[in-house]
Amino acid sequence: VVKTRRSHRKSRNGCSECKRRHIRCDERRPACTNCTIAERACSFPPARQQSQLEPLPQPQLPHSPADSHLSRKSQHSPSSCEPDHPLPWPQCGPDPSSASPESVFAAGRFRFTPAPATGPQTLPSFTESFTSTAYHPPVPPGSLFTAEHLMLFYHVSDAMSDCILARGQIKVVLDIAIKHLKDAPYLIDQLLALSALHVAFTSKPGEVPLNGTIASYRNQATELQTRALSSFTRIAAMVPADDTATCVPRFLFASLLSNQVLAETLLQHQQPQPLPYHHDVMGGHGGGSAGAGGGASGGAVNFHGFMERMIECIHLHRGILAQIRPTWDYLMQSELFPLLRITHDANITAVTLSSGTECAALRQMIDAAASPMSQFGDSSPRRLDRASAEACRTAIDSLQWAFDMHRALSEQDVPHAPSAFIVTIEAEYVKVLRSLLPEALVILAYLGVLIHRCRRFWTFG
């Protein structure tokens, strides 16, 4: 049944920060979701009438926006996306199990284990543990999906055989999504979100894709992703981190979500018109002004806006390794094995070969910046303290490993190497990157080189 358009309700009792940035607030206290994700100070103005405030439960983890607000439909979207099955990411405790998923990402020369997060992470959060509460998700209602959703599902199966994580693996992904439709509805939502983004990415200017517009499918990708996050966030509170019954859809959801966020981040930086973003970190949503949009580009994200979005994307990717660690042995024997084997085999091959030299200049740069001696032989203040220099060196080692793994892949136009590097970035480097130190930015620029080598994959091209 195709749903009718629902009315839109403003967040009149939203926090001061969301009002200043002109974005919808979910009114969660003591800190709303938008401020939690953007790591901003959240404060609420005094209420004019106490009755206007609806009590909200205290969140146990950084939630996605509240369901009632997430279900509000964009006026430009071709369909409504209501979180009728809102259910969360089970989040891993900081103490990993004896399993070793790092073998896929960093076997051999280097082992890159993300350090426990020291502050609030971007969504979804993957670092909290949960009790083994019995898991009985509600059955989704019959009107959950619309005709447009069915069109997107057909697009996935018909036009994206080489566009989901690995070439020729779309049937595996679809089978898992259908198999777990009731207990993990977030996976099919995220798959449809990626389908909508693919329609928007691959449609030519002036073309009318699937009886819609490019902008409408970008909006729908955002709405479906938001609904998936809301559903996932609720499920996580009821599922233990080592639950093997749900680890397959959880890992697949994490991978698809991370790829979509990275694609949106990169395109947001390139396009003259801003993309709808699932959480408007910089508050320049739809403004197109010089201050928020980068001047003459008419809405393109400025440098600082791009860096905030990129750091959010890195946080999201880093959570994947923590998410799969407790159930790694099970995953390697599951139906995901064909997907995981690609990176695993490439990593083993890379370890046996001699390391490349792509990052040699980066190592020299860090050594010079951390040295007390200038290039003229006299003493000078260090540009990098010891901790920052070590964080950059670790990131460089991880980046060189990603270059080596990319050379070992049988197919070059796949997202595995860039994603593997982002997954293995440590929190210390992210902290240095957030401070916008030039050396950390140069390392990130080298990631751009690696992404350029994979540019024929649709999310990077």
Q: For residue 70, what are its two tokens? A: 């997430």
* Assigned domain for 12 exists: no
| Predicted pLDDT at 294 | 39
Q: For residue 316, what are its two tokens? A: 């999201």
Residues 282, 367, single domain; the answer is: no
Residues 6 or more apart in contact with residue 436 via CB below 8 angstroms: 307
* Assigned domain for 347 exists: no
* Assigned domain for 460 exists: no
- How far is residue 415's CA from residue 165's CA, in Å, rounded to a whole number? 7
| Predicted pLDDT at 461 | 67
| Predicted pLDDT at 48 | 57
What is the number of structural domains in the chain? Answer: 2
* Assigned domain for 252 exists: yes
To the question of pTM greater than 0.75 for the whole model, the response is no
* Assigned domain for 67 exists: no
Instruction: Give me the amino acid identity at 70.
Output: L
* Assigned domain for 51 exists: no
* Assigned domain for 315 exists: yes
Residues 304, 179, single domain; the answer is: yes
CB-based contact 425:315 (threshold 8 Å): no
* Assigned domain for 343 exists: no
Of the candidates 326, 342, 374, which is a domain's last residue? 326
Of the candidates 326, 345, 373, which is a domain's last residue? 326
Residues 263, 381, single domain; the answer is: no
Residues 167, 267, single domain; the answer is: yes
Residues 311, 379, single domain; the answer is: no
Residues 284, 214, single domain; the answer is: yes
Residues 305, 379, single domain; the answer is: no
Residues 285, 235, single domain; the answer is: yes
Of the candidates 326, 343, 378, which is a domain's last residue? 326
- For residue 230, give its domain range: 72-80+88-326
Residues 386, 285, single domain; the answer is: no
Q: Does 381 sit behind a cis peptide bond, omega within 30 degrees of 0 on the bond before it?
A: no
pLDDT tens-place values along the chain, 461 residues long: 444 444 445 567 888 888 888 788 888 888 888 887 777 888 888 765 444 444 434 444 344 333 433 344 444 444 444 444 433 333 334 443 343 444 444 443 433 333 344 443 344 444 433 333 344 444 444 448 888 899 999 998 888 877 777 677 788 899 999 999 988 999 999 999 999 999 988 887 777 777 778 888 989 999 999 999 888 888 877 888 888 888 999 989 988 898 888 888 887 766 544 444 443 333 333 333 333 333 433 344 588 888 988 998 888 888 777 777 888 889 888 988 888 887 888 878 877 778 889 999 999 999 999 887 655 555 556 788 999 999 999 999 999 999 998 888 877 778 888 888 998 899 999 999 999 999 999 999 999 999 998 888 887 86
Apex 65 CA angle, 435 and 94, nearest 5: 55
Residues 95, 137, single domain; the answer is: yes
Residues 229, 193, single domain; the answer is: yes
CB-based contact 290:315 (threshold 8 Å): no
Residues 247, 319, single domain; the answer is: yes
